[in-house]
Amino acid sequence: MGKLTLDRILQSQGFGTRKWCGEVVAAGEVSIAGQVISDNHISLETRGLVFGIFGEEWIFRENVYIALNKPANFECSRKASHHPGVHTLLPEQFARRDVQPVGRLDHDTTGLLLMSDDGPFIHTQSSPKRHIPKVYVATTHDPVTPGLVAALLAGVKLHDEPAPLAALTCSMVDTHRIEIVLEQGKYHQVKRMLAAAGNHCVALCRSQIGGLKLDGLGLAGGEWCYLDDAQLALLKPD
């Protein structure tokens, strides 16, 4: 992004309006390398910039790319209606810089959710043309049978789809859980496919997107982390 004045830097990171950020700087609440900076017109190189505000250290990021371990009963919407939105799990400045979910998980579905303020990234990751596999672990109402796995692999017909939908892979985890891998990302797809195959989904968790695994991120439910370049590369199709 090049050089910006300090008030514009804080504004770009979602801390508030430019006027408010300037007042914060003038009040001596911003520091760089441990030195308080009270001149909001100072011009700084943003690349690699580390600054402190209200005693907390932040790294300048032109765009934010994060992974969230979404808990149940949170909605992937800025205008949540029946449950809190996933934005409430993040620092409040992320909402100001328009960080949005990449796709959606149902309110009762848990697991790996990507979020960003990079519009092209969100569009690319959400596009069905990308063919990025997503791994889900579904807990079933009735016991898992070889017939259920076979039906999901062969393809099941959903009433509003022109052709049967099939899992890329599907395997039994235990008596009441399956791991199913999909590319399409249709509305309620795992739940509807299980219903069409004669069972019922009682819990669903997304454990992986592309090569990015939730287990490898070390996130408890409701926790989030920034994604580095190596982790972002795992989201690209093979």
Q: Round to the nearest angstrom and report the end-to-end CA distance of the chain.
A: 30
Indicate whether 102 pLDDT > 70.
yes
Q: Are residues 224 and 111 in the same domain?
A: yes
Q: Is 209 exposed, middle or buried (0-12, 13-18, 19+ CB in 10 A)?
A: buried
Q: Are residues 140 and 205 in the same domain?
A: yes
Last residue of some domain: 59, 75, 96? 59
Pick 189 or 81 by higher pLDDT: 189
Q: What whole-number distance in Å separates Cα of residue 37 and Cα of residue 30?
A: 6
Average pLDDT in the 47-58 region? 93
Q: With respect to residue 238, please indicate whether it lies within any of the assigned structural domains.
A: no
Catalytic residue annotation: 106
Last residue of some domain: 39, 59, 79? 59
Q: Are residues 33 and 44 in the same domain?
A: yes
Identity of the amino acid at 8: R
Q: Are residues 17 and 76 in the same domain?
A: no
Q: Are residues 153 and 200 in the same domain?
A: yes
Q: What is the CATH number of the domain that holds 181?
A: 3.30.70.1560
Band of pLDDT at residue 215, cut at 50, 70 and 90 = very high
Q: Are residues 218 and 121 in the same domain?
A: yes
Q: What is the CATH number of the domain that holds 29?
A: 3.10.290.10
Q: With respect to residue 37, please indicate whether it lies within any of the assigned structural domains.
A: yes
Q: Are residues 220 and 123 in the same domain?
A: yes
**What residue numbers bound the domain in which 45 lies?**
3-59
Q: Are residues 23 and 76 in the same domain?
A: no
Q: Which residue has the tokens 């592309």?
A: 210
Q: What is the pLDDT of residues 59-71, one digit of tens each?
A: 999 999 999 999 9
Q: What is the number of domains present in the chain?
A: 3
Look up the pTM and report it.
0.91
Average pLDDT in the 211-228 region? 96
Q: Are residues 122 and 7 in the same domain?
A: no
Q: What is the CATH number of the domain that holds 220?
A: 3.30.70.580
CB 100 within 8 A of CB 14: no
